[in-house]
Amino acid sequence: EDQVTQSPEALRLQEGESSSLNCSYTVSGLRGLFWYRQDPGKGPEFLFTLYSAGEEKEKERLKATLTKKESFLHITAPKPEDSATYLCAVRFSSGGSYIPTFGRGTSLIVHP
């Protein structure tokens, strides 16, 4: 059973059509939730870190929010250049591990 689940697996939007990506986790003891963007053929690029429920971070058209069991990445009025795979990673407190668990990602395509 996956500890970190991202949905949907794939999302197609028209330019300007706002939407949200979801990252949910099943293990308690969150010690950080991370969002990354990955373009084809490149390594993931860090976007946000969230540590506690209620926290929000924003960058341009992206806003990340966190509740006790999930995080949302809201994309407002997306542009074609926002097309990428968005990865979520969660660090749990179990054993003091600094190794985050990654979800499988959401592939976003924004059509002009």
> Rule CB under 8 A: which residues touch other proteins?
32, 34, 36, 41-46, 49, 87, 89, 91, 97-105
Of 19 and 49, the one with the shorter C-beta distance to other proteins is: 49
Q: Do the beta carbons of residue 34 and residue 63 sit within 8 Å?
A: no
- In terms of Cα–Cα distance, which of 91, 87, 83 is closest to 22? 87
* Residue 61 or 104 having the CB closest to other proteins: 104
Task: Give the torsion through C-alpha atoms of 2, 65, 49, 84, to 10 deg.
Answer: 70
Shortest Å distance, C-beta 47 to other proteins: 9
The three-class DSSP label of residue 4 is strand
What is the bridge-based pairing of β-strands 56-59 and 62-66? Answer: antiparallel
78 or 103, CB closer to other proteins? 103
**What is the token pair recorded at 26?**
């099943």
- Nearer residue to other proteins within complex by CB, 63 or 104: 104
Nearest distance in Å: CB 17, other proteins: 25
Q: Minimum Å distance from CB 77 to other proteins?
A: 26
